[in-house]
Each structure stands twice: as structure tokens, then as C-alpha cells.
Amino acid sequence: DQQVKQNSPSLSVQEGRISILNCDYTNSMFDYFLWYKKYPAEGPTFLISISSIKDKNEDGRFTVFLNKSAKHLSLHIVPSQPGDSAVYFCAASEMGGGSNYKLTFGKGTLLTVNP
């Protein structure tokens, strides 16, 4: 039973356009959400996070939106650059329970940004 779902295995966009990666979750106890970026043969690197008390968090070209009622979050990358091509993982934890070390991951979405 997948608690964090990324239903799009891949996404292809043109350089300069917006990339939107989606993530759904089923566990109502999740209150902290993160996006990680992963290049081949490397470990995941943290990109951006959002607490359930917020509905939006921005960091440069990256914005994460959270819709708690729909149990849905999305990552927007504007403008997309070829260096953004990677696998993006959505992850969730129960921070209120003090468990930011126990992340539940989605299966990932491979983003390809074409020049």
C-alpha cells in the first residue's frame, strides 16, 4: 500500500518552460513534505520542503504547493533548465512525531528538460 504516490514516471519539457511534478499521499499523519533530486550514481539531494501549516513555499526557481484537503502537493520549476534533468522524489514524514529521519518516498518522476 503506497502512502506516497507519484503517478507520472516521466515528464519532458522544453528549456525555459514550466515543469510541474505531482505527488499524492494517503497518510493523514504526514505533516512535512520534501522534494529530493537525484542524478544517476549519486545520492538524493534535498531540494525544498513544506510544512502542513503552509500551502506554499518558494526557493528561487522552485515552488512547492500543498493542498491538504486533496492530500496533494506539486513542485513547480520555472524556468526549467537542462541541468534540472534528474529523477525527482516526493517524500513525507510525521514531523509532529519527531520523525524527520523516517521518510516515506514516492517512486520518483524522471524529468527531462530539452534544450
Partner 1 sequence: NAGVTQTPKFQVLKTGQSMTLQCAQDMNHEYMSWYRQDPGMGLRLIHYSVGAGITDQGEVPNGYNVSRSTTEDFPLRLLSAAPSQTSVYFCASSSDLDTQYFGPGTRLTVL
What are phi and psi for residue 61, nearest 5 degrees? -80, -5
Among 13, 19, 33, 34, which residue interacts with partner 1 (rule: CB under 8 A)?
A: 34
Task: Tell me if 4 contacts partner 1 by CB under 8 A.
Answer: yes
Decide if residue 98 touches partner 1 (CB under 8 A).
yes
Per CB under 8 A, 60 contacts partner 1: no
Phi–psi pair at 3, nearest 5 degrees: -90, -20
27: exposed, middle or buried (Cβ count in 10 Å: 0-12, 13-18, 19+):
middle
Residue 45 touches partner 1, criterion: CB under 8 A: yes
Asked if 1 touches partner 1 (CB under 8 A), the answer is no
The rounded distance, in Å, linking the Cα atoms of 59 and 16 is 17
Contact residues: partner 1, CB under 8 A: 4, 6, 9, 34, 36, 41-46, 49, 89, 91, 98, 100-108
